[in-house]
Amino acid sequence: MKIAIVDYGAGNLRSAAKAFGHVAGASATVDVTSDPEAVRKADRIVVPGQGAFGDCAAGLRAVPGMVDALEEAVHRRAVPLFGICVGMQLFATQGFEHGTHAGLGWIAGDVRRMTPADPALKLPQLGWNGLACKPHPLVKDWPAEPHVYFANSYCFEPLDRSCVVATADYGGPVVALVAKDNIAGSQFHPEKSQAVGLQLIANFLAWRP
């Protein structure tokens, strides 16, 4: 298996590559790459991300041929794709962090600033939080009360709620994990979420959507 982690200057690349490599083992190669051809040839694609939505969207589009390569792999070859944090948010229609910015539009919806109902809850949402999940191959073998690591002030609000696999409660529901066709992503960081995060990575690598 060839795993491509897309390097567009806006991701937690080293820890993501380490986590995917640890889970995949010797049966796979993990390539941190800004080469569209490597993405086209991959069996699994990961889009990490941290920072502001607009900066990440601009950074991804600034890599010559990368969006076209992702389109070809994901939509024509149905290669499983996973986005992490802002990487997942980029699948949305648009984001409203420091202005209005176009996303990739692969899962219809917006990325908006979180508004916790409890004023004692500060932003960013930083640290561990429990999840409520529905059955899905990506959460196979998770514990009954999974906890994962978040670092975000904005959250994805998909129009079609059927794609929401897991939510967290942070003064109201926060979309934590989505999956639509062969596209999936988490608002939390699986590479920082210990056993639950590693199990999610294993489930993604085994996923046959």
> Which of 189, 156, 199 lies closest to 12, judged by CA?
189
pLDDT in tens, 117-159: 998 999 999 999 999 999 999 999 999 999 999 999 999 999 9
Sign of CA dihedral 73, 75, 80, 83: positive
Q: Which residue of the set 97, 155, 163, 189 is catalytic?
A: 189
Alpha helices in 63-206 (DSSP H): 66-71, 86-89, 194-206
> Catalytic: 98?
no
d(CA 67, CA 39): 10
What are 47's strand-pairing partners?
A: 83
The separation between the first and the last C-alpha atoms of the chain, rounded to the nearest angstrom, is: 16
Q: Which of 97, 101, 155, 191 is catalytic?
A: 191
Catalytic residue among 56, 85, 155, 163: 85
Cα of 102 vs its chain's centroid, Å: 17
User: Maximum CA pair distance of the chain?
Assistant: 48
Q: What is the pLDDT of residue 10?
A: 79
Query: What is the pLDDT at residue 3?
Result: 98
pLDDT at res. 11: 72
191 classed as catalytic: yes
What's the residue count for the chain?
Answer: 209
Locus of tokens 């390539």: 31
Predicted structure pTM score = 0.96
Low-confidence ranges of the chain (pLDDT < 50): none
Residue 158: closest CA among 169, 166, 149: 166
**Residue 3: HSE in the Cβ half-sphere, 13 Å Cα cutoff:** 26
Annotated catalytic residue 37: no
